[in-house]
Amino acid sequence: MQLKTGERALLAYFPTSNDAQKAAAELKKAGIEEVQVDRISRFGVNNDAEINNPIAGRAETITGLALYSTGTDSLINDDTRVLKAADPSVSGYGNHDYGVAGGAPFMVSAVTSDDLFNSAEAIIKKCGGKM
């Protein structure tokens, strides 16, 4: 993506998804239309709610729940699941915030105009984000 003249990119990091979602909603309310929330993982995977949903009784693998990994049901890809399960972040025996990118695994990205950038930055800080 190439920014147009007068546009600025904003990347902010949050410790919780609730904080990131709140900031995204406030940015949109402030008139910034291009806003996105993502989870950062060193595994490059996404949460698959169909397979890894403990509330619906579908928590088939510990790696799916702990690492937000897609496609990790108990019937496929055994070797990948075993390697992921060996990670200290799954067992809970690792250091505090082990594996969390800078302690803030949720990223809000936005494209804003120069004139809205300062207010966007204030919203990010108010919601607990770091830029």
CATH number at residue 15: 3.30.70.2750
3-class DSSP state of 26 = helix
The count of structural domains within the chain is 2
Asked whether residue 36 falls in the same domain as residue 47, the answer is no
**Residue 124: how many other CB atoms lie within 10 Å:** 24
Asked whether residue 120 falls in the same domain as residue 91, the answer is no
Asked whether residue 34 falls in the same domain as residue 48, the answer is no
Asked whether residue 115 falls in the same domain as residue 88, the answer is no
Asked whether residue 50 falls in the same domain as residue 94, the answer is yes
pTM over 0.75? The answer is: no
Q: What is the pLDDT of residues 27-73, one digit of tens each?
A: 999 999 999 998 876 655 554 545 555 566 555 555 555 555 444 45
Give the domain extent around 15.
1-41+100-131
Asked whether residue 51 falls in the same domain as residue 82, the answer is yes
Asked whether residue 94 falls in the same domain as residue 48, the answer is yes
CA-CA distance, 124 to 84, in Å (whole number)? 33
Q: Which long-range contacts (CB under 8 A, 24 or more apart) does 117-121 make?
A: 117/8, 117/10, 119/30, 120/10, 120/27, 120/30, 120/32, 121/10
CA-CA distance, 87 to 57, in Å (whole number)? 24
Q: What is the pLDDT of residues 69-104, one digit of tens each?
A: 444 455 556 666 666 666 666 666 665 556 555 677
